[in-house]
Amino acid sequence: MEREIRKAIDEVLHKLKLAVESYVVERPREEGHGDWASNVALVGAGNPIEKAEKIVSELKNSDLMKSLDGIEIAGPGFINFTIKTEWWVERLQEIVKQGKDWGSGDWGKGRQVLIEYSSPNIAKNFSVGHLRSTIIGQSIRNLFEFSGWKTVGDNHLGDWGTQFGMIIAAVEEGGLDLSEMTVEEMERLYVEYNQRAKEDESLREKAKEAFVRLEQGDEGARSIWQVAIDKSKADFEKIYKQLGVEIEHAYGESFYEEEMKEVIREVKEKGLARESEGALVMDLGDGLPVGMLVKSDGGTTYFTRDLATVRYRSRTQGLKSDLYVYEVGGEQSLHFKQVFAAVDKLGWVKRDNLVHVAHGMVLGEDGKKMSTRKGTGVRMAEWLDEIVKRAGEINKHSAEMVGIGAVKFFDLKHSPVTAYRFDQEEALRLDGYSGPYVQYATVRARRIIDTSSEVNQDISLRKNLDIEEVRVIKLLDKFPEVVKEATLDYSPNLLADYVFDLAKSFNDFYSKHRVIDEGEVEPLRWFLAKGVVEVLEQGLGLLGIGVPERM
Ligand code: ARG
């Protein structure tokens, strides 16, 4: 409809010889301002009201009127369009016909996006920040896929760096066997060693030396490191399974060891490296601090590993993409600005094709960072189990789907950048802005469809609509726009808002109207319920949330 309105306006502008560079046609936020509104009379020179009157009187002679119930001038010169109910009814039929395809797009056709998400650290508990990255990253990925993009996922595991020097040193010092330890114990080992090393220079030296041995391929060091990787990965797997997330690639930081040498060679060759106090650095411009390529002790850095990652991806079949999205906590924003500036300078990937989707912190119910008394991270697997257990009180048949759905929805209803306090009770509330609320509405709508016989798709439907019906249909109609905006803005929260609104409108509708009355199906309402099931299932699916059989 937006396109049709635009076309009609353009024709009128042409006829009236009015030059307007750009104007908007959009759905007004509030009810009662028509179904679409345009600011066309407000842009450019001339009296807006007079212009609006001229435009409107021309529009009244146009074909557009066939779809309109009314056209009005409002406020300082907005033109509001109200669409005929017949049009909405036809629209509903069209939406139901499209079924699962409704909302999908093809604007991404022929393009590939690489999404890097989750990226937990080896020998450390999977943190709530990694949980966020996993949930948001997956949802963004689903959105791109639904818009026609080819997507590739890479889990950039933190399996390299000086912390491994500490773990190795601690293991060697205590004659420990890592394979006997849990990941949580490994993390504690690191935390404690790090504590002691703050006061004891010799421990720091030992750790440094151990990391150098690791980098040089020393067998003892490598085998300790390998055990840490295997154990951690097995732990992470449990969480991915629970979340229903699979990321096809997991090149960890260590994978880029060789590539880092190429990076340093190329940066030097291009004349972009310089020495500074024994270290090798790169100037980045834009007021950014220099990027540290090699430390004065000869060790490589997180920065260099990220450059190596981009270099590798940009020249590897299957990974090379049109767009690279990083879902990583906001505390690394400066780091990514530096990395993106550097690779742009090096000519590997253009700055515009790199995006850091930064997420805010998640705090525990007490408003503090989620961590154990020992200073290690809370065990996410146990935390998830606890929520699933509570979800069992709402739905004992699908506790997993409801509990995990509640976590995901609670996360995704916040825009990625916002920090929030996780509240289990609120996340599980059946009567709140929650995953279970939307799941429940979906189950209700589906039950209507499942217990009635299929209505012929081409049946002619009643043309008058009640307000609750119109509201639902208008929302169904809006779905593709929401998907597109959520994708372009990297904001699954827009979709979470939307599915909640739709669920709520459906519940309002359902509390006032019967779809099946004394065994008789009312066709229009049946279509409406059908459309709601399709869109809610699809919308929740894009958020990574399933719908239980019953609730
Ligand atoms: N492992 C890192 C961390 O937990 C996140 C990795 C982010 N990705 C990257 N390419 N640097 O902090």
What's the rounded Cα separation, in Å, for the pair 509 and 498? 16
Q: Which of 229, 246, 263 is the last residue before a domain boundary?
A: 246
Residue 373 pLDDT more than 70?
no
- 452 CA to centre of ligand 1 in angstroms: 51
Of the listed ranges 129-138, 352-361, 445-454, the one predicted with least confidence: 445-454
Domain boundary among 59, 83, 107: 83
29-59 b/e (C-beta count within 10 Å ≥ 16 → b):
eeeebbbbbbbbbbbeeeebeebbeebbebb
Q: Is residue 501 part of a domain?
A: no
Tell me the mean pLDDT in the region 20-45.
Answer: 91
Query: Is residue 112 one of the residues assigned to a domain?
Result: no
Does residue 103 have a pLDDT over 80? yes
Q: Does 354 sit in the ligand 1 pocket, CB within 6 Å?
A: no
Query: For residue 330, is pLDDT > 70?
Result: yes
Q: What is the pLDDT of residue 150?
A: 98
- Establish whether residue 306 lines the binding site of ligand 1, counting it when its CB lies within 6 angstroms of any ligand atom: yes
Comparing CA positions, the residue from 186, 182, 157 lying closest to residue 171 is 186
The pLDDT of residue 374 is: 64
Picking from 50, 66, 83, the residue at the C-terminal end of a domain is 83
Q: Which of 122, 136, 156 to mutate to test the pocket of ligand 1 (most atoms within 8 A of CB)?
A: 156
127 CA → ligand 1 middle, Å: 12
For atom 10 of ligand 1, which residue has the closest CA?
306
Q: Does position 294 have pLDDT exceeding 70, yes or no? A: yes
Expressed as residue numbers, the domain containing 54 is: 2-83
User: Is the beta carbon of 159 within 6 A of some atom in ligand 1?
Assistant: no
Rounded to the nearest integer, the mean pLDDT of the chain is: 94
Q: Is residue 463 part of a domain?
A: no
β 516-517/520-521 pair status: antiparallel
pLDDT more than 70, % of the chain: 99
The pLDDT of residue 161: 86
Among 115, 117, 119, 326, which is best to mutate for testing ligand 1, by the most ligand atoms less than 8 A from CB? 119
What is the pLDDT at residue 372?
Answer: 65
Instruction: Please state the pTM of the whole predicted model.
Output: 0.94
If 0-12 CB within 10 Å is exposed, 13-18 middle and 19+ buried, where does residue 320 land? middle
pLDDT band of residue 33 (cuts 50, 70, 90) is: confident
Pocket lining: 121 vs ligand 1, CB cutoff 6 Å: yes
pLDDT digits (tens, 9 = 90+) for 418-433: 999 999 999 999 999 9
pLDDT of residue 375: 64
Provide the pLDDT confidence category of residue 59 given band limits of 50, 70 and 90: very high
The CATH number assigned to the domain holding 72 equals 3.30.1360.70
Cβ of residue 123 lying under 6 Å from some atom of ligand 1: no
> How far apart are the CA of 107 and the centre of ligand 1, in A?
30
Q: In this structure, is residue 315 part of a structural domain? A: no
Helix/strand/coil for 332: helix
Question: For residue 69, what pLDDT is reported?
Answer: 92
| 252 CB near ligand 1 (under 6 Å) | no
> Which of residues 366 and 116 earns the better pLDDT score?
116
Give me ligand 1 centre to Cα 501, in Å: 35
Give the pLDDT confidence score for residue 96 in this predicted structure: 96
Q: What is the pLDDT of residue 327?
A: 98
Ligand 1 lined by 377 (C-beta under 6 Å) = no
Residue 88 — very low, low, confident or very high, per pLDDT cuts 50/70/90?
Answer: very high
- For the Cβ of 134 lying below 6 angstroms from any atom of ligand 1, the answer is no
Q: Which residues contact 267 (CB under 8 A, 6 or more apart)?
A: 273, 282, 293, 307, 346
pLDDT of residue 32: 82
Residue pair 150/187 in contact by the 8 Å Cβ criterion: no
Between the CA of 510 and the centroid of ligand 1 the distance, in Å, is 46
Q: Which one-letter amino acid corresponds to residue 475?
A: L
Q: Is the pLDDT score of 231 beyond 90?
A: yes
Q: Which of 133, 332, 335, 357 to mutate to test the pocket of ligand 1 (most atoms within 8 A of CB)?
A: 332
Residue 54 lies in a domain: yes
Who's near 393: CB < 8 A, 6+ residues apart?
none
- How far does Cα 289 stand from its chain's mean position? 29
Distance CA 548, CA 403 (A): 11
The per-residue pLDDT for 29 is 86
Ligand 1 pocket test, pick from 114, 328, 331, 362 with the greatest ligand atom count within 8 Å of Cβ, gives 328
For residue 329, give the ligand 1 atom closest to its CA.
Answer: 12
Pocket flag, ligand 1, residue 133 (CB < 6 Å): no
Q: Does residue 233 fall inside a structural domain?
A: yes
Instruction: State the pLDDT at residue 454.
Output: 86
The residue to which tokens 């340093």 are assigned: 264
Structural domains in the chain (count): 2
Going from the Cα of 158 to the center of ligand 1, the distance in angstroms, rounded, reads 6
pLDDT in tens, 438-477: 999 999 999 999 998 888 888 888 999 999 999 999 999 9
Q: Say whether pLDDT at 391 is over 80.
A: yes
Query: Is the confidence at residue 378, as pLDDT, over 80?
Result: no
- Residue 167 is assigned to a structural domain of this protein: yes
- Residue 175 covered by a domain: yes
Alpha carbon of 183 to those of 131, 232, 234, 417: distances in Å? 17, 6, 10, 29
Query: 181: how many CB neighbours lie within 10 A of its CB?
Result: 18
